[in-house]
Homo-oligomer: A and B are copies of this chain.
């Protein structure tokens, strides 16, 4: 079996760094394909293909305006990712706390 399709869910779609670049760029505003092409440095066909993947998993929405297609982020589709990572937040806070404690213990020893 091969890897799951990039369009199988937001996790897979977002694994590709270029697609995260696109989402980051769209975070502030709705943009046309050409604006994306100019902002990120990728060929237009590649951008269109990435946008298709993002659209398939609901991470972006598109609407036509004249000759242009305007894309914007559908942030709610990113939420499951955020929520999954949140279940580990308690753990890394705990981890970082222990790192800090150890550092303090070490500086205490030196006194």
Contact = CB atoms under 8 A, between A and B. Distances in A.
Secondary structure type dominating chain A contacts: helix
A49 interface: no
A82 B76 contact: no
A15 interface: yes
Contact of A78 (B85, B94, B96): B85
Given A11-B15, A12-B15, A15-B11, A78 B82 contact: no
A22 to B, nearest CB: 13
Interface of A: 3-4, 6, 11-12, 14-17, 20, 23-24, 27, 73-76, 78-79, 81-82, 84-89, 91-92, 94-96
